Amino acid sequence: MISEATIDRTLDRLENDGAEYEAQIRDFAESQPELMEYLTNEDVEAFTDDERDLLLFAALVIFQAVDDERSGLSEVSGEAISQAEERNYEIFAASKAPTLRDWLTPFFEASDEEELLAFVEDLTLSEDEENAISAEAREPFFVTLKTVIDVLT
């Protein structure tokens, strides 16, 4: 399991090293080209530009946190991404919970990566105006980042 301390260290490093952000995105894209394609695919029309930026930032945090604790990550295939995404949408579809927060419970119950999921949940449900995800984008935002967690861990 990726620790909260690793996630916090990764966030601090990215937030304090803004000049290197583009280089880190390039490194991510080079080491995980199919995952980057998945994250930047123009078919994802549910997201605003700000939501796409936040999605990419969150995916970079996840990638770097996992890489810090499990160096030498293998390149993720498009097939693995597709299968993980399909499983995640099936979990969402099976949930009959009254609120989105309650809908997320099955994901936590079926995962060893509670800290990474909590990070994604916080972003997805944030009330902060600067980082708020629109109601219609919350489900695909969460599922996309849960898929990133699944294929990297």
CB 123 within 8 Å of CB 54? yes
Provide the number of structural domains found in the chain: 1
Q: What is the pLDDT of residue 43?
A: 64
State whether residue 128 is helix, strand or coil. coil
What's the CA gap between 88 and 82, in Å, rounded?
Answer: 10
With vertex at residue 125, the alpha carbon angle to CA 81 and CA 46, rounded to the nearest 5 degrees, is: 50
Chain-centroid distance, C-alpha 11: 13
Give tens-digit pLDDT for 86-134: 999 999 888 777 777 788 888 988 889 999 999 999 999 887 776 789 8
> Residue 92 belongs to what domain range?
4-152
Average pLDDT, whole number, for the chain? 90
For residue 88, what pLDDT is reported?
93
